[in-house]
Structure formats: C-alpha cells, structure tokens
Structure 1
Amino acid sequence: MDTVLQARWPEIMEHFDKSIRSSRFYTFATTTPEGEPHMAPYASLILNDDCTGYYSDVFPDKTSRNLKANPNICISAVRMGFGLWFKALLKGSFPCWPCIRLYGTVGPSRKAEPGEIDRWRRHMKPYRWTKGYKLLWADIRTVRDIRFQRFEPIQLGQMPIASNGRP
C-alpha cells in the first residue's frame, strides 16, 4: 500500500464524507470483460480507518459482473457545493481538493456483519423515511470489501489548490 495514502487517509475520509453530503453519491468505475469503461453511481460506500472500505452490492448488476472479471476499481468523490465552486472560480484556486479518485481492489460478495449494517443505517439515516430508501436500501444483507492502494487528487486545469489548503 502507498505510504502517502496511509498518511493522507484522514483527509481523504473527510473529503469523501463531505462529498457524499453534497452530491449524494460516488462514481464507481470498472472495466467490462471487453475492456470498455463502465461508470455507475453508488451511495453505499463506507470507509474504514485502515485504508479499506466496503459497499453494499444489493444490486448485482453490470458493476458486479465487471468486478468478477477484473476486481480493480476507481472511485471518484466530487465535492459539489455551489459555494466551494463559485468561490474557487472567483479566486482562481480551490481551498481544498474538489475531487479525489481512490484506486483499489474489490473482494467477493459476503454476508454483512451487524456492525457494518449499523454503520450503513447511520450513513443513510436522512433517507429512512422515504419510499426510495425502503425500495433500495432497507434490506442490506451483503457487502464487498475494497482494499485501496492509492489515491489521486484531481487537478482541474490551471486552477491550483490554495497554498494554505491541506493538499
């Protein structure tokens, strides 16, 4: 595992937390068996303190089929807040990372442990009252582990990260 990933992991976790609050999903990128890229939105990623994470694979879809052939994944988290982007456009720089990519390897589907289900429920608490929550996520039973190897802050053209920013 990349030592820079380990050193920056708390900042990465904070970015992912702020990102999910602003955009409501992360983008998972996989590769089809034919070598074509495939991207899908996921809200179920939970990051652990040890550069790993897990997500619910409640929908065995194209992402799951792709991971069977190639377990590598890239997950993108974009902070979507209007204020962040507007201020960055005015100043010509970002005060923090606007986007991060995490690269990792996904394990096979397995039964979720009670603590993982509890963390997931806390994560999705704002949506529990919705019909969509009941249809999509109320019955989480299986998860897939992800072991992350490296990360990449996204630099957007000529707009740098402010020198007083953490990155």
Structure 2
Amino acid sequence: MKYWKDAERMIPRTPSLAIATVDADGSPHVTPIGSLFAAGEGRCFYFEKLPRNLRENLDRDGRFSILLPRGGLVYWLKALIKGKFDTVPALRLNGTAGNRRQCTPEERALFDGRFGKFGFTKGYALLWKDMRTVRDLHIKSITPVSLGRMTEGL
C-alpha cells in the first residue's frame, strides 16, 4: 500500500492525531486519540476507553478517517523558511473499524512502552491506568495531504 511505510514511521512520533467518524444523524465527529499503533501493513489498533461518541459511532458505522500530521515545530519551521516541504506533511488514513476486544499482553506492553513514563502522574492514573480494550482499524487507503505549492512534486 502506497504511503504505508511513511504512516508506520509517523504513528509513534505523533503524540495526538484526529479520527473522524459519522454521528447517528450523519454529521461528522472528530476525536483526538494518542494511542494509535501500527500492526502490520494496512492494520492499526488503538486503546479505547474514554471516547464514548467515537465508540458508539464505530459500533454503528465503522467508517473512519484519520489525519496523521508529520513532525513538530522544527519540521514545519524548516518548510516555511524554505517555502517547500521535503516530505508529505500529513497523511489521511481511511478505512473501517473492527469490533472492540481485549488487548493482548504484547499490545499492552506497546502501550506501556509509549506511555508508562508518565505512570507517576495523576493524569496517567485518571486516563490510562486501566486501558485494556482495543479496536482494530483496517486501512483501505492512504492519501497525502496537499498544501498547494509547498507540496508540489511530492
């Protein structure tokens, strides 16, 4: 799948991304998530505990779109100074969601590897301590985000 390797590299470096779903009335709903993990070509999963509307939307209609931005301030500042991006600045991952399930010990270890360093904080205990449920995401297409002349030729 074109751009999969880019997405795989970007996912662990992106502290928060946005996933869009469809509400019951057909309107869009965007939710920030920070626990997305790549799980092989065209497959991802995230830990699902807090986002109630996201969970309900995916249970009813499994379609989603994820905006996966690249880099931090230095990446964007370099592009602004040069007037050109050297790499695609963001990707859209579109697909369908699977059912919720209990995480495997290996998946929990991945979560702890990314977020365990915050285990001493009150916020960790409130947000992430009991993360045990994941949802698989099946990526059907990945499209680069175009930012006009600054992304020409990418």
TM-score by length of 2: 0.92
Q: Percent identity?
A: 32
Separation in 2, partners of 1:32, 1:98 = 28
Amino acid at match of 2:140: Q
Q: Check if 1:85 corresponds to 2:76.
A: yes
Question: Contact 2:94–2:139 (CA<8 Å) still a contact in 1?
Answer: yes
* Deviation at residue 100 of structure 1 after TM alignment: 0.9
Give 1:26's match in structure 2, choosing from 14, 17, 22. 17
Amino acid at match of 1:85: W
Q: Check if 1:55 corresponds to 2:46.
A: yes
Q: Check if 1:150 corresponds to 2:145.
A: no
Amino acid at match of 2:23: T
* Deviation at residue 134 of structure 1 after TM alignment: 1.1
Question: Contact 2:21–2:64 (CA<8 Å) still a contact in 1?
Answer: yes
Amino acid at match of 1:56: F
Alignment match, 1:108: 99
Q: Can you give the 5+ residue segments of structure 2 that lack an aligned partner in the other structure?
A: none
Separation in 1, partners of 2:51, 2:92 = 23
Q: Check if 1:12 corresponds to 2:7.
A: yes
After superposing on structure 2, the runs of 4+ consecutive aligned residues of structure 1 that deviate more than 6 Å are none
Question: Contact 2:31–2:51 (CA<8 Å) still a contact in 1?
Answer: no
TM-score by length of 1: 0.85
* Deviation at residue 154 of structure 1 after TM alignment: 0.5
* Deviation at residue 77 of structure 1 after TM alignment: 1.4
Q: Check if 1:66 corresponds to 2:57.
A: yes
| Corresponding pairs, count | 154
73-82 vs 147-156, which moves further: 73-82
Question: Contact 1:97–1:153 (CA<8 Å) still a contact in 2?
Answer: yes
Give 2:27's match in structure 1, choosing from 36, 52, 64. 36
Alignment match, 1:120: 111
Separation in 2, partners of 1:141, 1:89 = 41
After superposition, the Cα gap between the structure-2 partners of 1:60 and 1:90, relative to the gap in structure 1 and judged at 3 Å, is: closer
* Deviation at residue 12 of structure 1 after TM alignment: 1.6
Question: Contact 1:56–1:140 (CA<8 Å) still a contact in 2?
Answer: yes
Question: Contact 1:92–1:160 (CA<8 Å) still a contact in 2?
Answer: no
Q: Deviations over 1:95-140 (max 9, x none)?
A: 1121111111111111111111111111213322221111111111
- Which secondary structure does the structure 2 equivalent of 1:85 belong to? helix
- Which secondary structure does the structure 2 equivalent of 1:68 belong to? helix
- Which secondary structure does the structure 2 equivalent of 1:50 belong to? coil
